């Protein structure tokens, strides 16, 4: 989605407020260009979690979706964590309510599942899990799971299916999906491949298997940067949320990056990610609201599997 250039005044106001509040601005790779450009750090959930853990700012302005800001709060219970739009949710998070997961685990208690949750889930779900993963480290995390326990992978069945293919480890999959990534279809990607026969295709593992099979590389957004920089092709079709194209175009100015189309649109905009705007970023810094709030008990329970992930990610 093309975003109008923000006024110099708006940018200056955001930078002034950031200084005044001793804030850091963290932005996900899927945010609109102007937000990425003004952020202190732009990255995927894993990189953002490490940055949130390391910061000494008093305020974290998190430009992403709610579960990402919540993750920053879990890692920083005593800091103020704000987000531009409280309604920036996630269909994956919605697909796995904590009550439903708790009931499933109780109903299947005899299985003694080792539960691995993709970071795109609520704090309530994180609190019920053994370890968290991101798309960037999911293969590594699954490879470290105890061999004597069955794995339940929540909430993304597509990412889980891809990880099973990569690791050979059988897992039971929660039937959740990202509403946007499943809109990329075999037909929509084959059509753009036919238009650019010499292009390479890089796709996100949240895509369905039929799309992943058309890709030359399947990886997380952060790994896409490395892939595109080093790919031996000028044209690269990028099959993920459209905000990634901004990051990639900055990092790989010499490449022609082509957004993968969905079955009804020339590129994939996540309706939740795109709720955040520069005006809302300014307002949340000014008012220190909306804030992410969570009980200390929930924070503590959700922190354990997150810290385990950060630790296991280094291996
Ligand atoms: O892990 C993330 O930040 C997401 C949602 C996608 C990716 O691959 O970076």
Q: Residue 245: which CATH number?
A: 3.40.50.10800
| Residue 221 CA, ligand 1 centroid: distance in Å | 6
Contacts of 58 (CB under 8 A, 6+ apart): 21, 22, 23, 79, 80
Judge whether residue 244 has pLDDT over 70: yes
| Residue 130 CA, ligand 1 centroid: distance in Å | 20
SS3 at position 189: helix
103, 60: one domain: no
What pLDDT sits at residue 222? 94
Does residue 3 fall inside a structural domain?
A: no
Judge whether residue 4 has pLDDT over 90: no
Match 């609109």 to its residue by tokens: 32
What pLDDT sits at residue 226? 97
For residue 204, give the ligand 1 atom closest to its CA: 8
78, 222: one domain: no
150, 194: one domain: no
Does residue 268 fall inside a structural domain?
A: no
Judge whether residue 3 has pLDDT over 90: no
Does residue 267 fall inside a structural domain?
A: no
49, 198: one domain: no
What pLDDT sits at residue 6? 82
Contacts of 306 (CB under 8 A, 6+ apart): 49, 71, 74, 75, 126, 132
Angle at 242 between CA 238 and CA 245, to 5 degrees: 60
37, 186: one domain: no
pLDDT tens digits for range 80-103:
999 999 999 999 999 999 999 999
Does residue 230 fall inside a structural domain?
A: yes
| Residue 191 CA, ligand 1 centroid: distance in Å | 26
CA 132 → CA 84, 125, 145, 311, distances in Å?
A: 25, 10, 11, 11
* Helix (H), strand (E) at residue 145: none
Q: What is the mean pLDDT of residues 62-87?
A: 96
Does residue 1 fall inside a structural domain?
A: no
- Integer-rounded Cα radius of gyration of the chain: 19
Does residue 231 fall inside a structural domain?
A: yes
pLDDT band per the 50, 70, 90 thresholds, residue 314 = confident
173, 305: one domain: yes
156, 197: one domain: no
Q: What is the mean pLDDT of residues 118-129?
A: 98
Q: Count the residues in the chain.
A: 315
20, 45: one domain: yes
Does residue 2 fall inside a structural domain?
A: no
What pLDDT sits at residue 2? 56
| Residue 109 CA, ligand 1 centroid: distance in Å | 31
In the beta sheet, which residues pair with residue 80? Answer: 59
Please give all residues whose beta carbon lies within 6 A of any atom in ligand 1, as ranges. Answer: 28-29, 44-45, 120, 134-136, 204, 220-222
Token pair of 44, please?
A: 């995927």
Residue pair 167/236 in contact by the 8 Å Cβ criterion: no
Q: How many domains does the chain have?
A: 3
Q: Of 30, 44, 63, 69, which is best to mutate to test ligand 1, by the most ligand atoms within 8 angstroms of its C-beta? A: 44
Best CA proximity match to 160, nearest among 208, 99, 89: 208
pLDDT tens digits for range 225-234:
999 999 999 9
| Residue 8 CA, ligand 1 centroid: distance in Å | 30
| Residue 46 CA, ligand 1 centroid: distance in Å | 8
Nearest CA to ligand 1 atom 1: 45
In the beta sheet, which residues pair with residue 259? Answer: 238
245, 190: one domain: yes
pLDDT band per the 50, 70, 90 thresholds, residue 49 = confident
Judge whether residue 1 has pLDDT over 80: no
What is d(CA 94, CA 62) in angstroms, rounded to the nearest whole number?
A: 20
Token pair of 172, please?
A: 């039971």
pLDDT tens digits for range 169-219:
999 999 999 999 999 999 999 999 999 999 999 999 999 999 999 999 999
CA 193 → CA 40, 65, 67, 239, 258, distances in Å?
A: 35, 31, 34, 11, 10
97, 128: one domain: yes
170, 40: one domain: no
Domain with 38 in it? 8-89+273-293
Best CA proximity match to 242, nearest among 211, 267, 263, 207: 267
Instruction: Round the average pLDDT of the chain to a whole number and report it.
Output: 96
Judge whether residue 266 has pLDDT over 70: yes
pTM of the model: 0.94
In the beta sheet, which residues pair with residue 257? Answer: 236
Does residue 14 fall inside a structural domain?
A: yes
Q: Of 120, 137, 205, 218, which is best to mutate to test ligand 1, by the most ligand atoms within 8 angstroms of its C-beta? A: 120
């Amino acid at each position: 989605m093309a975003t109008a250039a923000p006024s110099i005044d708006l940018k200056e106001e955001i930078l002034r407020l950031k200084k005044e509040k001793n804030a850091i601005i963290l932005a996900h790779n899927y945010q609109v260009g102007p937000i990425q450009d003004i952020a202190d750090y732009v990255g995927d959930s894993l990189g953002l979690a490490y940055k949130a853990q390391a910061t000494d700012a008093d305020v974290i302005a998190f430009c992403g979706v709610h579960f990402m800001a919540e993750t920053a709060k879990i890692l920083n219970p005593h800091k103020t964590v704000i987000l531009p739009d409280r309604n920036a949710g996630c269909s994956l998070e919605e697909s796995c309510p904590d009550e439903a997961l708790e009931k499933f685990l109780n109903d299947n208690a005899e299985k003694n599942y080792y539960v691995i949750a993709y970071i795109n889930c609520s704090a309530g779900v994180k609190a019920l899990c053994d370890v968290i993963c991101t798309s960037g480290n999911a293969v590594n995390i699954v490879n470290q799971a105890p061999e004597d326990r069955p794995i339940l992978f929540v909430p993304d069945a597509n990412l889980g299916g891809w990880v099973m293919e990569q690791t050979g480890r059988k897992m039971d999959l929660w039937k959740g999906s990202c509403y946007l990534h499943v809109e990329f279809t075999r037909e929509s990607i084959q059509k753009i491949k036919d238009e650019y026969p010499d292009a390479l295709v890089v796709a996100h593992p949240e895509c369905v298997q039929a799309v992943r099979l058309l890709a030359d590389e399947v990886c997380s957004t952060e790994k896409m940067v490395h892939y595109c920089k080093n790919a031996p092709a000028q044209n690269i079709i990028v099959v993920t949320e459209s905000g990634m194209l901004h990051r990639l175009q900055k990092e790989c100015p010499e490449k022609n990056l082509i957004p993968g189309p969905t079955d009804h649109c020339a590129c994939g905009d996540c309706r939740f990610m795109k709720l955040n705007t520069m005006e809302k970023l300014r307002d949340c810094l000014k008012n220190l609201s909306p804030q992410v709030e969570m009980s200390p008990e929930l924070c503590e329970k959700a922190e354990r599997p997150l810290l385990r992930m950060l630790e296991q990610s280094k291996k």
